[in-house]
Structure 1
């Protein structure tokens, strides 16, 4: 029989009770056991009231409890785990190669974002931070660890490499955070995450945050968290009342034109496609149409990705064309439109793409473009994410498209000195098929008519050449 203070189970494990989070009365940062340096920094940065997940999580985390936080991306999780981690590490000094606190995240972008968000508070507490990610100089990261860093923010793959090189030892880590745990599992990092958790101090504090809870995440909770307090805030994108969801049904040959007009809107927009090739292809077309667009995907070097994100955040770039690499860890203030040019194939992908807008209480809109044949499957997938979208048929140049997305005609003046982009001749297939498989695109689109027209044209040209040769 469970202790009276224990209700329910740890996500399906009857032998593993968890402590429910008590109702949280309104509470401010000043009411919590935060160091004076942190409170002064919060005030200086204009951070006055905690978000719900911060108000719910901070007291338990500051008390050293293990925490399982379920909240959508953009709900304020970074300070929810970051402030307790820094406060409880303050006053200690790391030996070379032996950090005292660890934050594991799935992507380079999220690692850099977490580091940037926590840096002012770490500086105020005189704590040294090191960011350990792939794509950047491993030698510099080895040197940073050798010099001593109390807090390490890492992606699992690069951390594994440094452990293998004996450049990092986790034995003194007493506070460990897994941020976006579901994404790390989805990306195949579960072995490296488990390896890290097996090496940190066995009696240390663990905090796990995830937008969704599946079997792998449940296993991590069951194996590595001790009597966790559970907080669930904004559990899905569908719970966010400031976010509108639309499915726009487009005609295949009109698809590039619709996308181009959306991209030419006033204000920033994030466009998601499935493949690197499709991202590069659309980016070139948009720039040739006069739209300030840049591409973001895993084929870009880390300095390129960092520069592109900085330009998107400061407004030099108004359109970011991306694969799912940007679905995690990208935070941009006042980003009010996300467009799934290629519909996602998994409800979790939809949730995380959508989570790039309507962050921190702001409003936002998510638009998914579909062909008529994709409509049913896409709306079903979105429904699985807990969302009921508004479905509308649109064409380029129509007022309804502008009403929903702010679409307008592009300037048509190329940005890179090349020729202006022609009105695209699109076939009735998803973007991922265009340019990468012309034979398939032709077969699935208007290929039959096109082949006949080409054959007739070639026959007419041959007959005309024959008449010329005969003098006719």
Structure 2
């Protein structure tokens, strides 16, 4: 079991458990765990649950997909059960960095909240603040929130936090990366000072350490090593492609069987490439911060249900989203830093499953990307590939797309042209925008030829 006991000599951690039956959980919760097929606790759950149920403050280090939600969620719900919330005054709070993660956490905990007769509501931006205020007025024992929207509701006096007994900060490092720490500290200053606090983070840098020192009281420190877990359950590939062939290579990977998430650097590039894929016969949809929250929710639901097989996204999708059976993540644009790589890769190989992460690079990106992955604790071998080759298929399952446009996409050359445009700005060093350096006339001509052939296939409906 890869969980480590408290490093605090004053109060040692309680030993981890091997089964949920070893815990003093309500019968209704144990029955629901069995009904949902949750048989054996994951390492972070086994280590956290005894301590959190005992009321200890917890500092948990674990990557996304390791089972954190139940690790903090079950103790929060069990310890809140029987405490009725007054209007506008919740009893337990879970803070997360993104809207999608808030919905995911709420969905995971709602069945347990119901059997414990607890009212749970979600408070996030992008949706009606009036409806969220109404839910708080009616009374909710548990609130899952993003910091900005919760602070808005507090400022409007639609929510007060002085009755909050248990507070969880999930993905604290992502909150720091997104610039939310000031909002988080405002919230923590309002909850009960003698309440229980649990903080979970994949990394414990200086910003997160400051939160720990200020708000956690003698926390038990528990860890599931994120780098070791990632390396153990993922394959990591760097595929070197010629700039002119990058477009066709990414398209063939997208046409594979199974769910795949593909990351690009900008919203415009995501939209262009998605339009091209749909015109080529790939069931793809775009996800980025420029989409409304209801549309983002619908897109994720269609991806989870299998109605679409390819999610083309900016880094917004790397922040805490969980979709089962995503066995491939493709960095069409290399990530800007090691944290971004780990967040993107965390969309696959979740909760003990296996998966692969593929990063496409042009020759002048190779050294920078290999160095970036080394900083992330990952060593890879670079493989040179071309579209249509057996080696590309072996690594990624790539195949030629059908060429039959997906319903709702225009069967014209426009999708191919716009998709090609999404790639003409690539070939950049991670984190440094710009076009591929010194592209030769021969490469440019080859690219135009490839795009023309793709457009011809679309026109012919192949």
TM-score in same-fold range (> 0.5):
yes
2:237 aligned counterpart, secondary structure? strand
Contact 2:101 2:320 (C-alpha < 8 Å) held by counterparts: yes
Q: How has the CA–CA distance of structure 1 residues 391 and 27 changed in structure 2, closer, same or farther, with 3 Å as cutoff?
A: same
1:11 corresponding residue in structure 2: none
- Shift of the alpha carbon at 1:298? 0.5
Alignment of 1:225-304 (within 5 A): 225-236=216-227, 239-304=230-295
Contact 1:129 1:151 (C-alpha < 8 Å) held by counterparts: yes
Contact 2:279 2:412 (C-alpha < 8 Å) held by counterparts: yes
What is the aligned-residue RMSD (CA, Å)? Answer: 2.3
Task: Output the CA distance in 1 between the equivalents of 2:111 and 2:259.
Answer: 27
Find 1:144's aligned residue among 132, 135, 138: 135
Q: TM-score, normalised by structure 1?
A: 0.87
- Shift of the alpha carbon at 1:234? 3.1
1:177 corresponding residue in structure 2: 168
Which one has the largest radius of gyration?
1
Contact 1:357 1:363 (C-alpha < 8 Å) held by counterparts: yes
1:203 aligned counterpart, secondary structure? coil
- Residues 1:419 and 2:415 are matched in the alignment: no
1:410 corresponding residue in structure 2: 401
- Shift of the alpha carbon at 1:34? 1.1
Structure 2: gaps of 5 or more residues: 446-462
Task: Output the CA distance in 2 between the equivalents of 1:333 and 1:6.
Answer: 32
- Shift of the alpha carbon at 1:353? 0.6
2:439 corresponding residue in structure 1: 445
- Shift of the alpha carbon at 1:240? 3.9
Find 1:430's aligned residue among 426, 433, 436: 426
- Shift of the alpha carbon at 1:189? 0.4
Post-superposition Cα deviations, 1:429-455, rounded to whole Å, max 9, x if no partner, equal: 51789xxx9xx649853479989xxxx
1:208 corresponding residue in structure 2: 199
Q: How has the CA–CA distance of structure 1 residues 242 and 443 changed in structure 2, closer, same or farther, with 3 Å as cutoff?
A: closer
Task: Output the CA distance in 2 between the equivalents of 1:411 and 1:347.
Answer: 35
Contact 2:427 2:435 (C-alpha < 8 Å) held by counterparts: no
- Residues 1:94 and 2:85 are matched in the alignment: yes
Alignment of 1:33-432 (within 5 A): 33-236=24-227, 239-415=230-406, 416-419=409-412, 422=416, 429-430=425-426
1:359 aligned counterpart, secondary structure? coil
Task: Output the CA distance in 1 between the equivalents of 2:225 and 2:259.
Answer: 25
- Residues 1:27 and 2:18 are matched in the alignment: yes
1:458 corresponding residue in structure 2: none
- Shift of the alpha carbon at 1:236? 2.3
Q: TM-score, normalised by structure 2?
A: 0.89
1:131 aligned counterpart, secondary structure? strand
Post-superposition Cα deviations, 1:112-150, rounded to whole Å, max 9, x if no partner, equal: 000000000000000001100000000000000000000
